[in-house]
Structure 1
Amino acid sequence: MNRRQTAAVSATIGSVAALVTAIGSWLPSFWNDEAATLRLARLSWGQLLAFVESKDGVHCVYAAFMHVWIQIFGESELSVRAPSIIAIGAAAAGLYRLGLHVASSAVGLAAAAIFTVLPRTAFNGIEARSYAIATALVIWSAVCLLSAIRSRRRWWFAYVILMTLSIYVFLYSVLVLPAFLVIALWGAPQGRTRRLRVALGVLFPGVLAVPIAAIAVYQSEQLAWLQNQLLNPYTIGVETFFGSAWWMTLIVLGIIVICIVLTRLAIDRTVVFLLVWLLAPLLVLVTASLIFQPVFTPRYVSTSAPALALLTAMAVVSFPRRFAVGALAVILAAGAPYFVAVRADTAKPGGQNLRAVANAVGSEAMPGDAFLLGDLGIVSLRPRVALAAYPTAFADLVDLALRTPYFSTGSYSDELVTRDELKERIRTARRIWVVSNDDASAEVDLMRAARFDRLKKTEIGDMTVTLWRR
């Protein structure tokens, strides 16, 4: 194919991948992590700068982008997740181009298809976080790097820009640089000086990313929540790329192993490149977690998913055509249940439906009503997250617990009044909406102690919405 045809095929693949990813993307309720994205994106430029100076500086580039995005497109689930949907399309198009570089058009097409239904992609594609965008940038960085190795000098600039941006969007993108160094040096011109130049060119984005890395070290306490992250063969070997779809893990690994045993997949420079891309980030994070402090959670290895898709595609395409088509169909079918499951109303981690909670209050509340949202227990499961996710539902109501909003506290959490102050505020209200869970029944106790009568009770998952009147 000529360049125009290749571009047309890439654009078609990207469009299809984006459209497939967009299916049902608006159905799941926002959850804690997406609420955090929204809280950052809503800040003014001055507030955002002040916030990231004390917390989550590594997300400042993504937050700045999302600030502009929601100003233009609003805060619906579809619009807030659209950047990730578009990024998956761009990633699939880039993966096709990468497949062309390292193998064939068939490998590129199969890799794009596998990547699109891979559980890690299915999750990231409808998540208002930076993982999908960083993955797309890494893929296109690899495309530019391989073009640069073929003596197209202008591609070096494109590689450095895209790879540096990927690291600023998601810091752990830097962990794919060892794989890029492997493929670059393997195909580099002979001579120590030339190889040194190539190595410096590959690693230069890491040098440019020193400021964001320094911020990450300075704010390392924000990773304290990873103390509760399970580190075992399942979370490492299955959840990293397959989520809860353990059956797909067996199918993909089985195909790769069969291919290797039958020596249909030669261990050449492309396979080594993909293996390093696949395993290096995982090994670094797991080792660091075991020796120093927890830094691993499955989605932190998202930028390695393209390597798995390409490696699987190479294995599939190595077989006779009829078997290859059947194997690809099995893989795509295996990904379908998870693809559908993550688009349920309560599909986000924790099974919360914060949208339903907010609607239960906002649809029936009257101006002047007050609300009290539970703020005890696991941070990501606290009912008060509903206020961050869907603030318009509470806009005309009185927040009994609020002392200082989050943008003045330097954290994602509002500063709340003391229990005694809360008791005083409750006495001034006539109708109060209370949202509690098993860890926050203290709110209900306060209402009873203040001699309020419960008018209504609605169970929404693990949360309870109640209306109280004096």
Structure 2
Amino acid sequence: MTEAGSATIESLSGDRPSRRPLEIFAALFVAAGLVYLFHLGANALGASEAYSAWAAAKPGVGAIVRTPVLHDPGKQVFYYVVLHYYTQIFGLSEISLRSMSAIFSLMTLALVFALGCEMFDESTALAAAAMWAFNPLAVVFAHTARMYPMLIAIALAHLLMLLRVRSRPSIMGGIGCGILGAAMPYTHMAGLLILGAEGAILLRDLSRGKRDTIAWMAIVLAIALFLPYLPVAIRQSQDLIYGHWLDYLGPPYNYPLAGKLAAGLVAAGATSWLVFGRTVERDGDEPLRVLVAWIGLPALAFIVGSVILHPMFNPRYLSPGIAASSLLIAAAIGAWSAKWRNLLAAGFVVACLIMLPFARSKPQPWRDLAGQVAGGGASEPVFFESGFISNANTANVPNGGFPFGYYSVPFDYYFKGTNPRIVIPGFDAAAARMTIGERVSAASGGWLVSWKDRDGVKSELPDANRFRVVETYRQPHLAIYRITAIK
């Protein structure tokens, strides 16, 4: 063989993409699927999951749209609509409800790999996918019938499409990107912050002389498609401003004005550097800066909003960025040492697999409660507190949240008996105490399902001289009491 022929063969062999990363990813994908699908129906649905089932069981899209508007502010409709049609085929069992989340979680894993290939290379993509596949948070999302796995998958798919139309513009790609962009806020309002971060990324391109016409068109299309829902979103936001300060997010922090101004200036400075700062990467597309902006700007908005307005930060809202962080970590370590990146990715997988048995969520009590209520007699009432789930400082503030009682939905998913369901005002302890005493006296027994702590619920419980009260279950924001009349 001539020297030139040998060089040609070596060149062709070097240019041919390696199948090994793809084969390893396929094995990783199958293993992750087994983990995501394992014991989907083992635990009872949580309260939020029961709301997903409740919304999905509505007769049509119109009723589904009204559900978060009237009864569960802050929840967007797209997940409920998709789940509605999914459960029409597969039913409303725990396995069916959660299996859709497992499917979206597997889609997320494939998208992490695809994004890694688009932004970096196959080895980086494989390391990132490995770090996300068995992350306890990814497994929890896969096992939970909520919108977050869908939000992560849609957000990553949108980012992938945006990067492609940014580098290889096409009208159809821009339209698809815009539709995916609109799907994000229709799934969760945090999607609006992701669109804002993507706008900042495109603004940086514009400042460097790159127009990104199709990419801008996609962002504008996403916003235009969301505009018809904007009045509903504004109304929900008003409920959230009122409801969430009663909810788990807590009352506003009393930071001094100087502290709030400092937080705003730090956020403005960080954003300005990401958009207008000098280039530090050799790659002209700046993939690391893109990831930092896409992950960091929504998180920064939540943090600064929590300081200036009231607490609004919850890690679940940043779930797309958390999944994308595996790409950022793999790429950053790989830029330093590919060997250490691969070793750390493998070690992280082993650590996650060790942690998984200990990372399961606590079993929910609704199956057991349904059995206990059924055994107590059909005349015994079950009491639920109306109002937003409150902390101790705001539990007595009148409000119109969850007029049917927040925990009646998970209870009714499991209990089909005829026992009276009685709503008591969570913000009026005296009225609740009187109602409980009267109805339990008439039936000789009853149950109270409360979101209050022990001190908060004490004023609702009837006279200890006339009634025996036993706390049968307690976890944060949930307690169950068995109440019987003393004869």
TM-score, normalised to structure 1's length? 0.73
Q: 1:40 aligns with which of 55, 63, 67?
A: 55
**Are 2:446 and 1:426 aligned?**
no
Q: Which runs of 5+ in 2 are unaligned?
A: 1-15, 254-279, 396-404
Q: 1:211 aligns with which of 228, 245, 250?
A: 228
Q: 2:419 aligns with which of 381, 398, 404?
A: 398
1:123-158 residue CA offsets vs partner (Å, 9 max, x unmatched): 333232212101101111122223323144432222
Q: Which residue of 2 aligns with 1:460?
A: 473
Q: Which residue of 1 aligns with 2:192?
A: 174
Q: Which residue of 1 aligns with 2:348?
A: 331
Q: 2:36 aligns with which of 10, 13, 21?
A: 21
Residue 124 of structure 1 aligns to a residue in which SS? helix
Q: Which residue of 2 aligns with 1:156?
A: 174
More displaced, 315-324 or 164-173?
315-324
Q: Which residue of 2 aligns with 1:61?
A: 78
User: Which fold has the larger relative contact order, with Cα–Cα distance below 8 Å and residues 6 or more apart in sequence?
Assistant: 1
* Alpha-carbon distance between aligned partners in 2 of 1:267 and 1:147, rounded to the nearest angstrom: 15
Seen in structure 2, the aligned counterparts of structure 1 residues 344 and 151 have a Cα distance that, compared at 3 Å, is closer
Matches within 5 A, 1:67-466: 67-148=84-165, 149-181=167-199, 194-224=211-241, 225-227=243-245, 229=249, 269-318=286-335, 320=337, 322-336=339-353, 339-346=356-363, 353-355=364-366, 357-362=368-373, 364-373=375-384, 378-379=389-390, 386-399=407-420, 401-402=422-423, 419-434=433-448, 438=454, 439-441=456-458, 444-445=461-462, 451=466, 459-462=472-475, 463-466=479-482
Residue 445 of structure 1 aligns to a residue in which SS? coil
TM-score, normalised to structure 2's length? 0.71
Q: Which amino acid aligns with 2:144?
A: E
How far has the Cα of 1:459 moved from its partner? 3.3
Q: Which runs of 5+ in 1 are unaligned?
A: 233-262, 347-352, 405-411
Q: Which amino acid aligns with 2:440?
A: I
* Alpha-carbon distance between aligned partners in 2 of 1:97 and 1:120, rounded to the nearest angstrom: 20
Highest Rg: 1 or 2?
Answer: 2
Q: Which amino acid aligns with 1:297?
A: N
Q: Which residue of 1 aligns with 2:45?
A: 30
Q: Which amino acid aligns with 1:84?
A: S
Aligned residues: 418
Seen in structure 2, the aligned counterparts of structure 1 residues 459 and 50 have a Cα distance that, compared at 3 Å, is closer
Do the aligned residues in 2 keep the contact of 1:362 with 1:393 (CA within 8 Å)? Answer: no
Seen in structure 2, the aligned counterparts of structure 1 residues 170 and 2 have a Cα distance that, compared at 3 Å, is farther
Structure 1 vs Structure 2: percent identity of aligned residues? 21
1:79-133 residue CA offsets vs partner (Å, 9 max, x unmatched): 2222222111101101111111111111111111212334543433323221210
* Alpha-carbon distance between aligned partners in 1 of 2:285 and 2:441, rounded to the nearest angstrom: 74
How far has the Cα of 1:202 moved from its partner? 3.6
Do the aligned residues in 2 keep the contact of 1:435 with 1:464 (CA within 8 Å)? Answer: yes
Q: What's the RMSD between the two structures over aligned residues? A: 4.2
Do the aligned residues in 1 keep the contact of 2:333 with 2:341 (CA within 8 Å)? Answer: yes
Do the aligned residues in 2 keep the contact of 1:168 with 1:209 (CA within 8 Å)? Answer: yes
1:312-366 residue CA offsets vs partner (Å, 9 max, x unmatched): 11134345554333211232344446543342434xxxxxx32354245256344
* Alpha-carbon distance between aligned partners in 2 of 1:290 and 1:453, rounded to the nearest angstrom: 45
Seen in structure 2, the aligned counterparts of structure 1 residues 132 and 429 have a Cα distance that, compared at 3 Å, is same
Residue 466 of structure 1 aligns to a residue in which SS? strand
How far has the Cα of 1:169 moved from its partner? 0.9
Seen in structure 2, the aligned counterparts of structure 1 residues 77 and 441 have a Cα distance that, compared at 3 Å, is farther
How far has the Cα of 1:70 moved from its partner? 3.6
Residue 128 of structure 1 aligns to a residue in which SS? coil
Do the aligned residues in 2 keep the contact of 1:435 with 1:466 (CA within 8 Å)? Answer: no
Residue 209 of structure 1 aligns to a residue in which SS? helix
* Alpha-carbon distance between aligned partners in 2 of 1:71 and 1:445, rounded to the nearest angstrom: 44
Do the aligned residues in 2 keep the contact of 1:369 with 1:397 (CA within 8 Å)? Answer: no
Seen in structure 2, the aligned counterparts of structure 1 residues 155 and 33 have a Cα distance that, compared at 3 Å, is same
Do the aligned residues in 1 keep the contact of 2:158 with 2:181 (CA within 8 Å)? Answer: yes
Do the aligned residues in 2 keep the contact of 1:144 with 1:159 (CA within 8 Å)? Answer: yes
Do the aligned residues in 2 keep the contact of 1:186 with 1:269 (CA within 8 Å)? Answer: no
* Alpha-carbon distance between aligned partners in 1 of 2:346 and 2:291, rounded to the nearest angstrom: 23
